[in-house]
Amino acid sequence: MQAQETPGYAGEQNQFLTFTLGGEEYGIDILKVQEIRGYSAITHIPNAPPHVKGIINLRGTVVPVVDLRAKFGMNAVDYTKFTVIVVVMVAEKIAGLVVDAVSDVLNIAASDVRPAPDFGLRCDTRFMRGVVSVSDKLAVLLDIDRLLNDDETAPASVVN
């Protein structure tokens, strides 16, 4: 039986940074990750969507920060010592993602990734690259470029 081809995957294996949100596992392509920072103060931006927490200064670059819990419609929780900001590169722009905790870096064979389920028009799954079994749970692999749109990753500028 031939392995099913999953769009967006090159080669036999890919590495994913996995993290948790509300007890669920998610993963993003490790090549999109610039760094992982402890949660720090964020400057809030007036009239921003609820999931856009604001901006941070990352070595002179203004970086928009998105709370993935809010983006996914999950209940808000108090940030803990495990809460981190994962800094990612999205279409040549930098953005920060607030997640509950970072889990691991996994090597995942392309043949182990299953396509995202189709829930119809009421459930947008375009941002899902696929689903993979991790231990006894399923992890959702995210396509970060599709998840974050241009409004959330406005061009960064230099802070003087």
Residue range 46-67, pLDDT digits in tens: 999 999 999 999 999 999 999 9
- CATH for 13-147 is 2.40.50.180
Distance from C-alpha of 11 to C-alpha of 28, rounded to nearest angstrom: 16
Q: Within a 10 A sphere around the Cβ of 39, how many other Cβ atoms? A: 17
Specify the pLDDT at position 13. 79
Distance from C-alpha of 112 to C-alpha of 25, rounded to nearest angstrom: 16
Distance from C-alpha of 76 to C-alpha of 62, rounded to nearest angstrom: 25
Q: What is the dihedral of CA 14, 19, 22, 26, to 10 degrees?
A: -10
Strand 24-29 versus strand 33-38 pairing type: unpaired
Residue range 95-110, pLDDT digits in tens: 999 999 999 999 998 8
Q: How high does pLDDT run on average in the chain?
A: 83
Specify the pLDDT at position 34. 95
Q: Within a 10 A sphere around the Cβ of 92, how many other Cβ atoms? A: 7
Note the helical H segments in 93-143: none
Q: Are 44 and 65 in contact (CB under 8 A)?
A: no
